[in-house]
Structure 1
Amino acid sequence: MRVGAAMHSYPYYRTNQSNGIITVSGEHTLYVDPDQAIVSIGIVTNDKELEVAQNENKQLSNRVVQSLLNNGVRRQDIQTSTYQVLPQYQFEDGKQTFTGYEVRQVFRVTVKSIEKVGKIIDDALKSGANRVENIQFIQSNPIESYQQALALAYQEAYQKALTLSGQSNQQLNPQPKSITEQSRPSAVPFMNTAYLKAADESTAVQPGQIAVTAIITVEFRTH
């Protein structure tokens, strides 16, 4: 895993000589490589007869699922996230005319071989999928990266406290009075967009990196 780091000063500190307290904050961001992707792949069918639209959707969905399995996606990593039956209407001259039904099924697919995301999407489209609604790149163990960022955020806060205590002629107690965590582990999606794509196009997907940020506030005693 390639890890890059960037430090950001969180512009917040407070000294209180009468109470012997210095309050500082620390912030640190790690940039890590994702190792999994979550892709939403959909099948949309239309027909005047609901049963026809449903049967066509089922057949195409089965083909798409088989395509995913053939590409090494585990069955337990394929989940139906949406199944909708939507009546369709056409408006002309102020009149509403029923035109048929739209059946929509969307699979939430977890891809653990991130280098295969493009091929998996291409093959799903060739098998009958006609909608890719979302691609999100994640790290399977974000807690580990977040804990690294948290430790570095604390070091930044401690160095701030040392600087402030020295500038204000106080001696810093290295044992903190309190530590408050201001952030939580999170993954930033690389792509979040709905679009249609032709099956004969080639999908090139670049995952980029994920920013993991930790922010804390620390109180130190001085004397």
Structure 2
Amino acid sequence: MKKICSVLMGMLLLSLVIPAMAADNGTDVSKLRVDGEGKVKAAPDMATIVLGVETRSTSAAEAAEENAILMNQTINALLDAGINESQMQTSRFSLTTMPQDEPRGADATQEPPTFLATNQVTVRLENTADVGRVLDAAVSAGSNSIQEVKFDLKDPTPQNDEAMTIAIKDAQRKAQVAASAAGLELGKILEITVGYGYVMEASRSYSYAMDATPIQPGEMEVTASVNLVYEIS
């Protein structure tokens, strides 16, 4: 049995374990444990954009007033572009002072503070083809802060199921190879452990958008993993 374990661990990175007495018949049961992985690529079908307006002034009131004007223009531009109010949500609003350098020298005086007003809105799009058009509309209306563009899948269930099917077949193939190499026969499956997880395409960050902003959604990779435990003889 030690020789069998060595072959499996050294050549195939699989594990052959002999547990305690089986509960059903009181006999030793040898087990083979294998891992499988499945991957499926899919084009994203939704996008999330975080954009907004930043304004600065030595007057807090002026910074806030200018910010409100530009943000209202931005929201109106998004509405004109076909974005519904239900697709927009304010995600941040702040009015703070900018960091200042300490005055230097005996005659140096502290400069008056500069106020920074920030207003951000999160926009959720059902069509990734609209991302570039929405960004351009927002920037043209006064938005000067594009914080993030992220892509996702509305419902990854079909891709999850396909990836899991591939993962199980991968584990079954590995089990057959391992058993054949060790001169063993596979029995019934005693245990199945599954896991899902999809890796999103990297998000993008911007400071200022340009004319005809090019956006490439790319692909997302949906992954699934499985662990199978076989009875062997």
Per the shorter chain, which TM-score range? 0.7 to 0.9
Q: Contact 1:135–1:189 (CA<8 Å) still a contact in 2?
A: no
Letter in structure 2 aligned against 1:220: Y
Percent identical among aligned pairs is 22
Greater share of strand: 1
Greater Cα offset, 136-145 or 123-132: 136-145
1:187 is displaced (CA, Å) by 4.2
Structure with bigger gyration radius: 2
Q: Contact 1:37–1:138 (CA<8 Å) still a contact in 2?
A: yes
Aligned residue in 2 for 1:180: 193
Match of 1:45 among 55, 66, 70: 55
Q: TM-score, normalised by structure 1?
A: 0.85
Query: Partners in 2 of 1:221 and 1:97 — Cα distance?
Result: 78
Aligned residue in 2 for 1:127: 141
Q: Contact 2:148–2:203 (CA<8 Å) still a contact in 1?
A: yes
Letter in structure 1 aligned against 2:207: Y
Q: Contact 1:80–1:108 (CA<8 Å) still a contact in 2?
A: yes
Query: Partners in 1 of 2:222 and 2:206 — Cα distance?
Result: 25
1:12 is displaced (CA, Å) by 4.3
Query: Partners in 2 of 1:168 and 1:203 — Cα distance?
Result: 58
Aligned residue in 2 for 1:24: 34
Q: In angstroms, what is the RMSD of aligned CA positions?
A: 2.0
Letter in structure 1 aligned against 2:230: F
Q: Contact 2:199–2:223 (CA<8 Å) still a contact in 1?
A: no
Aligned residue in 2 for 1:14: 15
Q: Contact 1:131–1:196 (CA<8 Å) still a contact in 2?
A: yes
Tell me, which stretches of 5 or more residues in structure 1 are unaligned?
Answer: 1-10
Match of 2:96 among 86, 89, 92: 86
24 and 96 in structure 1: CA distance in 2 versus 1, 3 angstrom threshold: farther
219 and 79 in structure 1: CA distance in 2 versus 1, 3 angstrom threshold: same
Q: How many residues align?
A: 209
Letter in structure 2 aligned against 1:43: V
Q: Contact 2:95–2:118 (CA<8 Å) still a contact in 1?
A: yes
Deviation by residue 1:134-156 (Cα, 9 ceiling, x = unmatched): 11111111232122101210111
Q: Contact 1:79–1:107 (CA<8 Å) still a contact in 2?
A: yes
Q: TM-score, normalised by structure 2?
A: 0.82
Q: Contact 2:35–2:225 (CA<8 Å) still a contact in 1?
A: yes
Aligned residue in 2 for 1:5: none
Query: Partners in 2 of 1:115 and 1:63 — Cα distance?
Result: 23
